[in-house]
C-alpha cells in the first residue's frame, strides 16, 4: 500500500502510534480510519482502548500533552512494543518539544519504503508493497531545522531560542553584550539562503555589533570589522581561536570591512569575538 497524500495529524493515535502503519489500516479494502476517528472497521481491541478513553476523559487529543506522561498505561505499552523497535515515550517527548506536525513528518520519513515508496508496516516490520524487511533498530528522531521549527509567521521567544541552542555560552554572550553596551536584542527573520530563519541582532545607535544565528544545539556569530580597524584586528587575530582566525583572514574586505562568521563553540572563541566587538565600538 502506498502512503496516501494529505495524511493529517488525526492519523496519529492518542498514544502516539502512527495509525497509517497499523496492520489494520494497511491490510484491507476498507482501512481503519484511525484510533481517533469513529469505530467503523476497527479491531475490537482498538474500539475498547483504555488509553484513548483516558485521553478523551481528560479532554486531550494526545497523551504527551498530559502532565502525567508517561503514565503506567504508556509504560506498559512501551514494553509491549519493544519487539517492534518503537518507543511511545521517545515519540511523545519529541512531539511535546516540537509539535505534532513535526512528529508526523518524522513518521512519514521513517515509514516510507526507500525502494518502492510503500508503507512500512510497524507491526510486520516490512514494506506492504514490495515486502522488503527493515532493520529492527529504532531510528533516532531527527531534530527539525531551525528555519522549519520557527517559520516566518512564528517568531521564537527568548526562552525558546535559549532552549533550542542549549549552550551556556549563549546566555553568557548575550548578557555580556547587553550589560556592556546597554542594549537589547532584536529578533529578525532572514531569507538569506546561507542562514535562513530567525536571527538575533545587536545594534547601538544604528551601528551593528553582531548578528547571532541560533540552531539546534549551537549558534554562530557574524560581525563586521571596519577597514579602519584592520591593523588592530590583525594583531588580535594572532592569538585568536583558530576557527575565528581562519574565518577572519579568509574574508576579503567588502562593504567597508571584513565579515567573519564563526561557530561559538568554546570560551576562547567567545572572548575573542567580544574583543573584536569592543575594538569596533571604540
pLDDT digits over 39-84, tens only?
A: 766 666 677 788 988 998 999 989 999 999 999 999 999 998 888 8
Average predicted confidence (pLDDT) for the chain: 85
Euclidean distance between CA atoms 226 and 259, whole angstroms: 9
- Span 207-255, pLDDT tens digits: 889 999 998 788 999 999 999 999 999 999 999 999 999 999 998 888 8
Please state the φ and ψ torsions of residue 121, each to the nearest 5 degrees: -70, 125
Residues counted in the chain: 282
pLDDT for 136 beyond 60: no
Residue with cell 551556556: 168
CA 148 to the chain's CA centroid: 8
- The more confident residue out of 7 and 197 is 197
Decide which of 122 and 233 is more confident. Answer: 233
Q: What letter would DSSP give residue 140? A: P
Q: What is the pTM of this model?
A: 0.55
State yes or no: pLDDT of 193 exceeds 70: no
The CATH number assigned to the domain with range 148-281 reads 3.30.930
Q: Are 81 and 87 in contact (CB under 8 A)?
A: yes
The sign of the torsion formed by the CA atoms of 9, 15, 18, 23 equals negative
Helix H or strand E encompassing 52: helix 50-57
Once rounded to an integer, what is the mean pLDDT over residues 147-160?
Answer: 83
Backbone φ and ψ for 188, nearest 5 degrees, come out as -135, 155
Domain ranges of the chain: 9-142, 148-281
Confidence of residue 178 (pLDDT cuts 50, 70, 90): very high
Amino acid at each position: 500500500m502506498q502512503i496516501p497524500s494529505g495524511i493529517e495529524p488525526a492519523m496519529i493515535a492518542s498514544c502516539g502510534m502512527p495509525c497509517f502503519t497499523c496492520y489494520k489500516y494497511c491490510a484491507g479494502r476498507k482501512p481503519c480510519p484511525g484510533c481517533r476517528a469513529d469505530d467503523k472497521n476497527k479491531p475490537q481491541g482498538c474500539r475498547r482502548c483504555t488509553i484513548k478513553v483516558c485521553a478523551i476523559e481528560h479532554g486531550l487529543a494526545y497523551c504527551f500533552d498530559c502532565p502525567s506522561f508517561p503514565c503506567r498505561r504508556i509504560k506498559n505499552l512501551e514494553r509491549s512494543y519493544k519487539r517492534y523497535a518503537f518507543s511511545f515515550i521517545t515519540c511523545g517527548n519529541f512531539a511535546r518539544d516540537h509539535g505534532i506536525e513535526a512528529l508526523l513528518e518524522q513518521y512519514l520519513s521513517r515509514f516510507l519504503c526507500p525502494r518502492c515508496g510503500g508503507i512500512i508496516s510497524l507491526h510486520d516490520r516490512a514494506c506492504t508493497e514490495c515486502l522488503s524487511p527493515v532493520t529492527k533498530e529504532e531510528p533516532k528522531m531527527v531534530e527539525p531545522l531551525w528555519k522549519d521549527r520557527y517559520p516566518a509567521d512564528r517568531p521564537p521567544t527568548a526562552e525558546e531560542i535559549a532552549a533550542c541552542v542549549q549552550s551556556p555560552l549563549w546566555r553568557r554572550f548575550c548578557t555580556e553584550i547587553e550589560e556592556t553596551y546597554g542594549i537589547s536584542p532584536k529578533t529578525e527573520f532572514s531569507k538569506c539562503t546561507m542562514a535562513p530563519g530567525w536571527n538575533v541582532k545587536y545594534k547601538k545607535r544604528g551601528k551593528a555589533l553582531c548578528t547571532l544565528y541560533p540552531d539546534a544545539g549551537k549558534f554562530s556569530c557574524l560581525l563586521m570589522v571596519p577597514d579602519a580597524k584592520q591593523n588592530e584586528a590583525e594583531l588580535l587575530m594572532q592569538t585568536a581561536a583558530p576557527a575565528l582566525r581562519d574565518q577572519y583572514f579568509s574574508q576579503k574586505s567588502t562593504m567597508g570591512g571584513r565579515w567573519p562568521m564563526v561557530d561559538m563553540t568554546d570560551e576562547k572563541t567567545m572572548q575573542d569575538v567580544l574583543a573584536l566587538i569592543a575594538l569596533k565600538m571604540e
